[in-house]
Chain A
Amino acid sequence: NAGVMQNPRHLVRRRGQEARLRCSPMKGHSHVYWYRQLPEEGLKFMVYLQKENIIDESGMPKERFSAEFPKEGPSILRIQQVVRGDSAAYFCASSPAQGRTEGYTFGSGTRLTVV
């Protein structure tokens, strides 16, 4: 009964490289959410996806960031040409349906460090 699985746990990238963060939702969950936590800040919503669809990407920076949740496989958050300001903890969460549940189930996060 695995929870939300995120990998890698830690990712170091040089400025200008690409970062790919993966998220496998809980079994039976078809809704995935990505949040970012910058140092000393709260979690901020980035994007909400269902299988093969982006429902709300209002929290995603307009450039360099993209997300997908294909029919098969994990959800991917992709950051192209990373900059130091992208260094943060990225959390994925999942839920079985849209709307209020007792909160989401979060993964343990990927800590991205850009050097």
Chain B
Amino acid sequence: DQQVKQNSPSLSVQEGRISILNCDYTNSMFDYFLWYKKYPAEGPTFLISISSIKDKNEDGRFTVFLNKSAKHLSLHIVPSQPGDSAVYFCAANGGASGTYKYIFGTGTRLKVLA
């Protein structure tokens, strides 16, 4: 039972344009969401988070939007840079998973073309 889904395995975007990565979840008890970025042969690195009391959180070029009614979140990167090329995972917790156990999606591989 995949509670967190990233339906696009890959995405290619031109440098300078906007990258939009999507994530859907099924568990309405989730109330905290994160995005991680992962380069090959490295561990995931925390990027940005959002609590369910908000619908938007912004940090520099990165913005996460949360639509609770649709159980959907998205990560916007603007402008995209070649160094943003990586695999992006969304993760969620809350409810039965508690506050320490994160449920991860399968990732979206972003390629930013120079």
Q: A42-B4, A42-B89, A42-B105 are in contact. Are A106 and B45 (CB under 8 A)?
A: yes
Q: Are B99 and A99 in contact (CB under 8 A)?
A: yes
Residues in A with CB closer than 8 Å to B34 are 102-103
Q: Within the assembled complex, what's the spacing in Å between the Cα atoms of A95 and B32?
A: 16
Write the chain B residue with the least CB distance to A3.
B43
Write the chain B residue with the least CB distance to A109.
B43
Shortest beta-carbon distance, A7 to chain B, in Å?
13
Interface-lining segment among A12-20, A43-51, A65-73, A79-87: A43-51
Kindly state whether residue B53 has any CB partner on chain A within 8 Å: no
Shortest beta-carbon distance, A48 to chain B, in Å?
6
Residue ranges of A at the interface with B (Cβ–Cβ < 8 Å):
4, 6, 9, 31, 33, 35, 40-45, 48, 55-56, 58-59, 91, 93, 95, 98-100, 102-109
Residues in A with CB closer than 8 Å to B103 are 45
Q: Can you list 21 A-B contacts with CB-CB less than 8 angstroms, sorted by A residue number?
A: A33-B101, A42-B6, A42-B89, A42-B106, A43-B102, A43-B104, A45-B101, A55-B100, A56-B98, A59-B101, A93-B43, A98-B99, A100-B93, A102-B49, A103-B34, A103-B46, A103-B49, A103-B102, A107-B43, A108-B42, A109-B42
